[in-house]
Structure 1
Amino acid sequence: MDFTISAEIDDYRSRIARFVEDEILPVEGNRDAYDDHGNIRLDFLEPLREKARAEGLWCLQLKPETGGAGLGKIGMAVCYEEMNRSIFGPAVFNSAAPDDGNMMVLEQAGTDAQKARWLQPIVEGKVRSAFAMTEPNPGSGSDPSMMQTTATRKGDKYLIRGRKWFITAAEEAQHFILMARTSDDERKGLTAFLFDRDQPGWRIERRIPIMGPEEHGGHCELVFEDLEIPAGDILLGEGEGLKVTQMRLGPARLTHCMRWLGLSKRCVEIARTYAAERFAFGERLSKRESIRMMLGDLSMQIEIGRLLVMKAAWELDRGGYARKEVSMAKIHVANLLHKAADTAIQINGARGYSTDTPLEWIYRYARQARLVDGADEVHKMVLERHLDKEDRQFWAWPASHN
C-alpha cells in the first residue's frame, strides 16, 4: 500500500500552507476581522479570495473544465487539511460548506445549461448557495423518507409547499438545491429542485440562534407557500432526489472530516506552543508527563483519523460508494475534533477559554460536528447494518486480480 502523494498534490499543499501562514493567519488574529456571528467579515474575506485566485488556489476540488484543478478526493484530503489550519481557510479557497458540496453535485449531476445558470456563479464567487433538506419534526432529518415538503406538478411547473430548518447559509445564499416529495414511491418519491433567492413563494422565517460560530448566512428556517419551479430546474429528473442526496452527502461528510483534521492539528499546535513557553512549579508544562501523554494521544488519534479519511477518499476515487468508510471517518474525526479542542483548552487554562486564541471558537464549532450530516448514532447504525449484511467480509481487503 503506497501512501505517497503525487508531486502535483504536494505542490498545492505547500503553496496552501504558505498562503495560510502568510496571508490568512494574520487576518484571523485581528479581532476586527470577525463579523457578529464569529466568522470572517466579507470586506476582509474578498481580498483574500482575490489573492487565492491569483495564486491558482481557487476551487481546487472541481474539474479543470469547471475552473478547478481536478485533484480528486485524495488530493482534496491533503489540501483541505492544510487549508483548515485557519478557521477562515475554507471560505478563502472556496472550499467551505455548503458551497463545496453544492458545487460538486452540480458539476456531477447538472446539465450544461444548469451548470451555466446555477454552478458557474458559485464557482466564480459571485453568489453563495444552500442545500435545503432538513425539516422540523416529523419531517426529514437523517432519514430522507420522512420528507414532508411536497412538490405538485402543474403543467410545466411544480408548486412547492412545506418547511425546512437549520438550512446552512440560507440568509446569504442566492442559489438553492431543494429536496421535496413528488410521490409516495419509496425509492423514487423525492426530487431535487433548483431555485433562486429572488423567486416568489417562499421566505426565511428566522435565522436560528445557535452556540456558534456560524457559517456565512447562518442556519435558517424556511417556509414554502406555492413556490413555482420550472420543470427544467430539476436535477437528474423527477424521482431521482434520493440519488442526488447520496451523490452530495457522502462526499460532503468526508470533506467535513478533511477540514476537521486541519482544525484538530491547529489545536495541538496551539497547545504545544503554550506548553513549551509556560512555566509552573519550576519546569515547563511541556516537560510534564501528563501533558506529554495528552499530546501524544492526540497525535495518534489525528493520524488514525487521517488514515480513515484517506481510505474513504481512495475508495471514492476508484469509483466506490465508501458508505461504511465515510461513516467510520465521520464518527472518529467528529469526536476527535471535540477532544482536540477540549484538551488544548485544558492545557492553555484560562487563556484557552478566552478569545485570545481560536480554541474557544473551535470548541463551540466542534460540538456540532457530531450532529451535522448524520449524528454519531446514525452512522453507528449504518455500520452495524453493513456488519449484519457482510459478516466477516466487513473487513475484507479489496484484491487486485490482474
Structure 2
Amino acid sequence: MDFHIPPRIEDYRQRIARFVEQELIPLESDPGSYDPHENIRLDLLDRVRAKAKAEGLWCLQLKPETGGQGIGRMGMAVTYEAMNRSIFGPASFNSAAPDDGNMMVLEAIGTPYQKERWLQPIVRGDVRSAFAMTEPHPGGGSDPSMIQTRADKGADGRYRIHGRKWYITGAGEAAHFILLARTSDDPRYGLTAFLFHRDQPGWRILRRIPIMGPEEHGGHCELEFDGLEVGPEDVLLGEGQGLKVTQMRLGPARLTHCMRWLGLARRCVEIAKEYAAERHGFGVRLSERESVQLMLGRLAMNIEVGRLLVMKAAWELDRGGFARKEVSMAKVQVANVLHEAADTAIQINGARGYSKDTVLEWIYRYARQARLVDGADEVHRMVLNRNLDAEGADFWRWPVAEA
C-alpha cells in the first residue's frame, strides 16, 4: 500500500485546514454560536456553508455528476480528518452524519427518480435527512434481523407501515428519511428500505430523547408509525433488499465516523500540548514532566494506529472490497482513542479542561457515544472473532499483487 496522497487531495486538505482555522475555530469560543443543544446555530451554519460552497469545499465525497468531487474513500480519510479539527467542521462541508451516509447510499443505488427526488435536495443543503433503523426492545438494534416495524403491501401496490423507532439521529430537523421495515419473515430477504418525507401523514415524533450531549442537529428521536403509506417508486433497491441496503449504508458510514473522530482526537492533543508547553508547576513546565510526555506519546501512537486502520479500510473500499473486518477494527480502535484523547487532554489541562473554556469537555461528552453508535465495541469484536474462526491464519494474510 502506497501512503502517498495525490497533490489534488493535499490541495483540498490544505484549503480545508485554512477554512477551519479562519472560519470555524473562532466560532467555538463564542457562546452565541451555539443552539440550545450545543451545536452550531442553524442560521450561522447556513452562512458558513455558503462560504464552503463558494470555495469549492462542498460534498467532496460524492461523484462529480452528483455534485461532488469524487475524491474516493482514501481522499475522504485525509479531508474528513482535517474537517473535524473543529467541532463545527463536518456540518459545514456537508459531510456530517447522517446526511453523509444517506447521500452515499442514495448515490450508489437510487433510481434516477430517487436521486432527483430524495438525494439532490440533501446535496444542495436544502434539507437534512435521517436513517430510521433502531427500535426499542424487543426490536432491532445492532441486529437488524430483529426489526419489528412492519410494512404491509396492499392490493394497490402501496405499503402501510406500523411500528416504532428510537434514537434516530437528526430526525427532529430531517425532511427526508430512509426507513427499514419488515415486509416478510424471510431471514435474509424480509426487510425493505423505504423513502418518505416528513410531511407525509401516518407517523409522528414522540419525543426528542435527552442525551448526555452535545447533540447533532435534530437530536435523537423516538418515532411512531401508524399507517404511513409509501408507494413502490420509493422503495430503495427493491422489496426484500433492506438488509443489503443496511450493509451498504452502515459499513462506509462507520468508517467516515472514524475519519471525523481522528480529527477531534488530534484537536485534543493540540490543546493538551499547547497548555503543557505554557503551564508551569513546581518550577518546571508540564511538558518537561516525564508523566506528561508518556501520556502524549502513547496518545500520538494510538491515534496513528487508528489512522493506519482507517486508511487500510478506505483502500480496500476504493479497490472494490467490502472491508468488513477492516472497518470493524478501525471502528473499535478509533472510538476508543477518541475517548482516550479527550480524557488525557482534560487531565493535562486540569480544571481548565473540565470547564467550558476549551472544547475538551464538549468532545469528552460527545466521545462517549462513539463506542455505541453504528455497533458497540463488543459487536465489532464478535464480528472479528467470526472472521478469525472462518479464516484462521488467513485473517492476517497480505493481498498479493498480480505478477
TM-score interval (norm. to shorter): over 0.9
Residue 36 of structure 2 corresponds to 36
Give the alignment of 1:138-177 within 5 angstroms: 138-154=138-154, 155-177=156-178
- 2:103 is aligned with 1:103: yes
Task: State the alpha-carbon separation in 1 of the partners of residues 93 and 2 from structure 2.
Answer: 28
The letter for the 2-side match of 1:60 is: L
Residue 368 of structure 1 corresponds to 369
Task: State the alpha-carbon separation in 2 of the partners of residues 23 and 144 from structure 1.
Answer: 40
Per-residue CA distance 1:138-171 (angstroms, 9 max, x = gap): 0000001001000000122100000000000000
Task: State the alpha-carbon separation in 1 of the partners of residues 258 and 100 from structure 2.
Answer: 13
**Segments ≥4 residues shifted beyond 6 Å:** none
Task: State the alpha-carbon separation in 1 of the partners of residues 90 and 251 from structure 2.
Answer: 19
Task: State the alpha-carbon separation in 2 of the partners of residues 195 and 148 from structure 1.
Answer: 18
How many percent of aligned residue pairs carry the same amino acid?
A: 75
Residue 222 of structure 2 corresponds to 221
- 2:125 is aligned with 1:125: yes
Aligned-pair CA distance for 1:196: 0.2
Aligned-pair CA distance for 1:281: 0.4
The TM-score, its normalising length taken from structure 2, stands at 0.99
Residue 287 of structure 2 corresponds to 286
The TM-score, its normalising length taken from structure 1, stands at 1.00
Residue 215 of structure 1 aligns to a residue in which SS?
Answer: coil
- 2:186 is aligned with 1:185: yes
Residue 136 of structure 2 corresponds to 136
Residue 327 of structure 2 corresponds to 326
Residue 358 of structure 1 corresponds to 359
Per-residue CA distance 1:18-60 (angstroms, 9 max, x = gap): 0000111111121110111110001211111000000000000
Task: State the alpha-carbon separation in 2 of the partners of residues 177 and 108 from structure 1.
Answer: 14
Residue 116 of structure 1 aligns to a residue in which SS?
Answer: helix
Residue 3 of structure 1 aligns to a residue in which SS?
Answer: coil
Per-residue CA distance 1:316-371 (angstroms, 9 max, x = gap): 00000000000000000000000000000000000000001000000000000000
Task: State the alpha-carbon separation in 2 of the partners of residues 184 and 2 from structure 1.
Answer: 46
Task: State the alpha-carbon separation in 2 of the partners of residues 304 and 204 from structure 1.
Answer: 40
Task: State the alpha-carbon separation in 1 of the partners of residues 31 and 348 from structure 2.
Answer: 23
- 2:393 is aligned with 1:396: no
The letter for the 1-side match of 2:301 is: M
Residue 119 of structure 1 aligns to a residue in which SS?
Answer: helix
Residue 224 of structure 2 aligns to a residue in which SS?
Answer: strand
Task: State the alpha-carbon separation in 2 of the partners of residues 394 and 40 from structure 1.
Answer: 43
Task: State the alpha-carbon separation in 2 of the partners of residues 28 and 235 from structure 1.
Answer: 39
Task: State the alpha-carbon separation in 2 of the partners of residues 331 and 378 from structure 1.
Answer: 10
Residue 52 of structure 1 corresponds to 52
Task: State the alpha-carbon separation in 2 of the partners of residues 19 and 221 from structure 1.
Answer: 36
Residue 303 of structure 2 corresponds to 302
Residue 267 of structure 1 corresponds to 268
Residue 277 of structure 1 corresponds to 278
Unaligned runs of 5+ in 1: none
Residue 240 of structure 2 aligns to a residue in which SS?
Answer: coil
Per-residue CA distance 1:167-226 (angstroms, 9 max, x = gap): 000000000000000001111100000000000000000000000000000000000001
Q: Number of residue pairs matched?
A: 402
Residue 194 of structure 1 aligns to a residue in which SS?
Answer: strand
Task: State the alpha-carbon separation in 2 of the partners of residues 103 and 43 from structure 1.
Answer: 22
Per-residue CA distance 1:239-280 (angstroms, 9 max, x = gap): 000110010000000000000000000000000000011010
Residue 211 of structure 1 aligns to a residue in which SS?
Answer: coil
Aligned-pair CA distance for 1:383: 0.2
Unaligned runs of 5+ in 2: none
The letter for the 2-side match of 1:78 is: V
Task: State the alpha-carbon separation in 1 of the partners of residues 126 and 333 from structure 2.
Answer: 35
Task: State the alpha-carbon separation in 1 of the partners of residues 307 and 338 from structure 2.
Answer: 12
Per-residue CA distance 1:353-393 (angstroms, 9 max, x = gap): 00010000000000000000000000000000000000000
